[in-house]
Amino acid sequence: MSFAAFKASTRKAFAPAPLASRTRVSLRSNTFRRFATESAPPPQAPKSNNTLLYAGIGAVAIGGVTWYILSSDSDSAKVAGSTVKSGVQAAKAATNFTPSKEDYLKVYKRIAEVIDSADDYDDGSYGPVLVRLAWHSSGTYDKDTKTGGSNYATMRFAPESQHDANAGLNVARDLLEPLKKEFPWISYGDLWTLAGVASIQEMGGPKIPWRPGRIDGFAAQVTPDGRLPDATQGSDHLRRIFGRMGFNDQEIVALSGGHALGRCHRDRSGFDGPWTFSPTTLTNDFFRLLFDETWVWRKWDGPKQLEDKKTRSLMMLPTDYVLVTDKVFKKYAKAYADDQDLFFKDFSAAVSKLFELGVPTQQWATSEPWLLPTIDEQK
Ligand code: HEM
């Protein structure tokens, strides 16, 4: 076991979150939610001039603003007016300072400190909720319209910040806000995905290849509701939602292994409980438990979810359970249950791809993603 994994596993074994920590975060309605509903029409694709992209991240931000103002009607031009400032500022910051890999490692280090500052929040780590932020900000991608994805970090804006699927992610966004102030040159998209990478790596998971290059977008680029998966659905739904992002069956199963981390919160999704006994350490336990335990429908007043018959303390979502009921999904799930190295290899590749969705190639600061060292390796 690596030191990072050891450290993670020595954090509090899971226990119901103290009420105080559940109520401390700002919460919305307590009703049970279905995540995805109808697909709204895709938003207007941002059409900033591609040649500007080559001129660098700062120029891209200005290009986007220029395009937006020129193509706006008077009402949305007012909105654009308020975004010009931040766009230009972002551009200025980007052109006045060219961050090196060492600068990103400094951000990584600060993220790791934030992850560990959780005290009695949930299971003693902010890692899981940061992973979820990175995934939800990337998983809005639509490969056909080339909209959504991690590029513009549009979850900062309503209505995307208010989408049911994103309930509770204000906690993660607020955690990273001071870091954005500390390192104003980093874009939100880079910060959020780097936080996802650092969380996975610091919680004992595999290295996730990552590189910078995302830029801050505008409220006009928010994605419509219904692009993220609905946990009450079945395999067709998973294939449709993840297929839209460009993922195949094997990648869907590998990505679902992220549920080895964290827990469901009644006051966020309506579901309740952790998937594994070590929710702050990434392992293949999610898959092992799916096969090794007997899962029964929980009798309660909440949404349909399963619980393990033996301890009744673990949970599975309907969408988790289809990984053992769908023949094709089951083949991959079994392979991951039997071989953690294989799971880590495939999870790393799929997460790296996920976090890069929606970012035009020419925006990347480097042609090859980096493998960033963990805090222990940096010592
Ligand atoms: C397969 C479709 C998926 C569905 C339907 C789904 C659904 C959910 C739900 C309902 C929650 C509980 C949220 C809460 O109440 O706080 C959750 C949490 C979580 N999900 Fe997923 N998810 C999916 C895929 C993924 C993927 C691909 C990842 C990452 C690779 C991921 C990572 C997480 C993590 C880490 C948490 C725990 C967050 C926390 O502890 O605060 N999920 N997911």
2 inside domain: no
Q: What are the C-alpha distances in Å from 119 to residues 12, 15, 127, 316, 341?
A: 10, 13, 12, 26, 31
pLDDT of residue 96: 80
Task: Quote the pLDDT of residue 21.
Answer: 39
Q: What whole-number distance in Å separates Cα of residue 283 and Cα of residue 213?
A: 30
Q: Within a domain: residue 134? A: yes
Chain centroid to CA 8: 20
As a whole number, the mean pLDDT across the chain is: 83
Q: Which residues are registered as beta bridge partners of 7? A: none
- Say what the pLDDT of residue 277 is: 98
Query: 3-state SS of 51-83?
Result: HHHHCCHHHHHHHHHHHHHHCCCHHHHHHHHHH
pLDDT at 294: 98
Q: Are 137 and 150 in contact (CB under 8 A)?
A: yes
What does the DSSP 8-state code read for residue 121?
S
- 214 and 296 both lie in a single domain: yes
Which residues pair with residue 274 across a beta bridge?
Answer: 263
Domain-ending residue, one of 42, 66, 92: 92
**What distance in angstroms lies between residue 90's CA and the mean position of ligand 1's atoms?**
31
Clarify whether residues 207 and 331 are in a common domain: yes
Are residues 327 and 342 both part of a single domain? yes
Best residue for ligand 1 mutational test, from 263, 264, 356 (most atoms within 8 Å of Cβ): 264
Whether pLDDT at 253 is above 70: yes
pLDDT at 254: 99
Backbone angles phi, psi at 32, to 5 degrees: -80, 135
Residues 238, 348 within the same domain: yes
Mean pLDDT in residue range 83-102 = 62
362 shares a domain with 284: yes
If one counts every other C-beta atom within 10 angstroms of the C-beta of residue 302, the result is 14
Residue 78 has pLDDT above 90, yes or no: no
Asked, for residue 31, whether it belongs to a domain, the answer is: no
pLDDT higher than 50, residue 233: yes
Range of the structural domain that residue 261 is part of: 99-378
User: Cα(67)–Cα(80) distance, rounded to whole angstroms?
Assistant: 10
Q: Looking at 71-155, list the stretches that DSSP marks H as alpha helix, in order from N- to C-terminal side.
A: 74-96, 101-115, 127-138
Cis bond before residue 209 (omega within 30° of 0) = no
Examine the domain organization and report whether 310 and 207 are in the same domain.
yes
Which alpha helices (H) appear in the chain, and where do they start and end? 3-9, 19-24, 50-54, 57-70, 74-96, 101-115, 127-138, 169-182, 188-202, 235-245, 249-256, 285-292, 318-325, 327-338, 340-355, 375-378
The pLDDT of residue 6? 47
Q: Same domain for 278 and 372?
A: yes
- Residue 142 bridge partners (DSSP): 147
Tokens in use for 354? Answer: 């996920």
370 is catalytic: no
CATH for 288? 1.10.420.10
With a cut of 80, say whether residue 258 has pLDDT above it.
yes
The answer on pLDDT for 43 being more than 70 is no
- CA pseudo-torsion sign 235, 229, 150, 375: negative
Distance between CA atoms of 130 and 111, rounded to whole angstroms?
Answer: 10
**pLDDT > 70? residue 120:** yes
Do 215 and 110 fall into the same domain? Answer: yes
- Ligand 1 pocket at CB < 6 A: 128-129, 131-132, 135, 168, 229, 231, 238, 255-256, 258-259, 261-265, 268-269, 271, 317, 319, 351
**Of 73, 92, 111, which residue sits at a domain end?**
92
pLDDT score of 122 more than 80: yes
For 313, the token pair is 């303390």
Q: What is the mean pLDDT of residues 128-134?
A: 98
Residue 33 confidence (pLDDT): 39
How confident is the model over 316-328, as pLDDT tens digits? 999 999 999 999 9
- The reply to whether 368 falls in a domain is yes
- For residues 67 and 139, state if they share a domain: no
Residue 233 CA to ligand 1 centre (angstroms): 14
At residue 301, the pLDDT reads 97
In a domain, 58, yes or no: yes
Q: Let me know if 237 is a catalytic residue.
A: no
- pLDDT band at residue 90 using 50, 70 and 90 as cut-offs: low
279 with 303, same domain: the answer is: yes
* Res 379: pLDDT: 87
- Is pTM beyond 0.95 here? no
pLDDT tens digit sequence for 166-217 = 999 999 999 999 999 999 999 999 999 999 999 999 999 999 999 999 999 9
